[in-house]
Amino acid sequence: MSTQQGGTTTDPQETHDQPATEGEQLPGPGSGDSVTPRMGDEPDHGESTYRGSGKLTDRVAVVTGGDSGIGRAVALAFAREGADVVLAYLEGEDRDGRRTADLVEEAGRKAIAVPVDLTSEAACRELVDRTVSEFGRIDILVNNAAYQMAQPGGIADITTEQFDRVLKTNLYAMFWLCKLALPHVPRGGTIINTSSVQASSPSPELLDYATTKAGIVNFTRGLASMVAEDGIRVNSVAPGPIWTPLIPATMPEGKVDSFGTQTPVGRAGQPAEVAPAYVFLASGDSSYITGEVIAVTGGQPVTI
């Protein structure tokens, strides 16, 4: 796995400070550059620290939710490892999507930015068709797009409309994209789905979101068994509390300041600290790993 600190030893409690906020809840669903002035500390995507070593040279990657947060960090890391990247992000987040594309291009790789609402099968087909038209194949598919909206009142406050949006974004889109992409994934290709510590330790106010994240784990394991004979690996990364624009946009104001402090490491993680797990699973370094979940949680257990 590539390191972010040039191979030096780092204290996990001192690598990053606990993010500072300005105490104001942001409008959902959360974007990067457009909310940074009110977010407080900007997330670290690895802009000044991630160093590639050619692990993904000339591979073609699709990254959903690629405009900010974990998606931006993964796209940057993939590009610095030598991959071309197709970035899918929610329509209206063009400024953030363009910034991620710039980071990919600054690494000397091709970036294609695709604003798209993946809650429809037609949109998922459009994304796959666009990628295949440009590159002829999909070597790496990262299903990272997600939607959450915390409801302190629990199930009573979760509307059917919210439940539908969470499932369509987090589960349906993953299903559609895997189904549509697999005919274009060659042997040696990989699929990486973003789960969460919420899959095994659900917060009551995130009941619908946590339900989808548990579903992603089971889907990953089942699909991994299904396509192993085709030479395709399917794995999942389960982040813990990671500092992304989604947090101040979708969590109650009072919980944002303490976000991540419950972990053994004692702070929220940064997107740059998650991206190397995706690089590992996308590269040949993990050639004997499929159907697995890698937890990047600051010490919180994921026990699914």
The reply to whether 209 belongs to the active site is yes
Separation CA 125–CA 25 (nearest Å):
34
Looking at residue 2, its pLDDT comes to: 43
Cα distances (angstroms) measured from residue 146 to each of 95, 153, 296, 302? 19, 21, 17, 19
Looking at residue 301, its pLDDT comes to: 87
Tell me the mean pLDDT in the region 160-170.
98
Looking at residue 1, its pLDDT comes to: 43
Question: Which residue of the set 50, 89, 147, 209 is catalytic?
Answer: 209
Tell me the mean pLDDT in the region 213-221.
98
Strands (E), 163-257: 190-194, 233-239
117-137 pLDDT, tens per residue? 999 999 999 999 999 999 999
Band of residue 235 on the pLDDT scale cut at 50, 70, 90: very high
Ordered structural domains, the chain, with CATH: 61-296 (3.40.50.720)
As given in the structure block, the two tokens for residue 287 are 């050639």
Looking at residue 192, its pLDDT comes to: 98
Tell me the mean pLDDT in the region 137-160.
96
Looking at residue 251, its pLDDT comes to: 54
Q: Which of 22, 18, 34 is nearest to 253 (CA)?
A: 22
The whole-model pTM stands at: 0.86
Looking at residue 298, its pLDDT comes to: 87
